[in-house]
Amino acid sequence: MRLGAVVLTMGNRPDELRALLDSVAGQHGDAIEVVVVGNGSPLPELPDGVRTVELPENLGIPAGRNVGIEAFGPGGSEVDALLFLDDDGLLPRQDTAQLVREAFAADRRLGIVSFRITDPETGSTQRRHVPRLRASDPLRSSRVTTFLGGANATRTAVFQQVGGLPDEFFYAHEETDLAWRALDAGWLIDYRADMVLEHPATAPSRHAVYHRMVARNRVWLARRNLPLPLVPLYLTTWILLTLARRPSRPALRAWLGGFKEGWTKPCGPRRPMRWRTVWRLTRLGRPPVI
């Protein structure tokens, strides 16, 4: 199985990026082709053999990763699967790529594998990095309904069948959008605790656009993918959850602004999932109303 890797960077972590690329190069088995995409910034000096793409402006995370996919040919066709790795991450084990190959070889319906993210200082995994509702045991692998955008491996056949990440989202929930489309097409998604990416523990709210993008993209996610009867249920649930978390006044104002924007701006094509897929998501423990 031919593996490639896509790394998106804004050029502000050259040391971490170099360490990540070294960890990819150190994987057992056949060499992994790597594309580094500079998202609106020039790239630092990189190891020989690494492909590079420098974008003149920051297109956002999903669009930037889509550029990386296309650097491997239409839908990533030059390789069988792609690793997507955050530029400040690190593969601490040398057998991760081999585990990815074995996982895909063992199950032809497996489309996406989500890695376990650990903090390099403590070895702990944040609950938000376990892509399921029952997140108390990050060491338990399981079948899931979404994945981690900067720590995963995806068959390129998934992109060729259902398309890439949603460019319009810029940041937040683009993984769930792709996951729902992949599940609707019959693919499976696994969370694998034995495939590890080290990444410093951070809070997503560190991004200035976090609250607005999260709210806007929740609405877009529902508008694009859910059967009409589920759209109000899904969004009402998330309104209540947001209020229950008691955000600060500025955060709530930004969230409400993003929620309104989600209804007033175009979100791309609507392709509602089948009710059979709704039932699959429900059986996997995450019905698409939460």
pLDDT, tens digit (0-9, with 9 covering 90-100), for 6-59: 999 999 999 999 999 999 999 999 999 999 999 999 999 999 999 999 999 999
pLDDT, tens digit (0-9, with 9 covering 90-100), for 146-188: 999 999 999 999 999 999 999 999 999 999 999 999 999 999 9
pLDDT, tens digit (0-9, with 9 covering 90-100), for 112-124: 999 999 999 999 9
pLDDT at 205 over 70: no
Task: Taking the CA atoms of 26, 197, 188 and 59 in sequence, report the sign of the dihedral they define.
Answer: negative
pLDDT, tens digit (0-9, with 9 covering 90-100), for 227-285: 999 999 999 999 999 999 999 999 999 999 999 999 999 999 999 999 999 999 999 99
pLDDT, tens digit (0-9, with 9 covering 90-100), for 55-96: 999 999 999 999 999 999 999 999 999 999 999 999 999 999
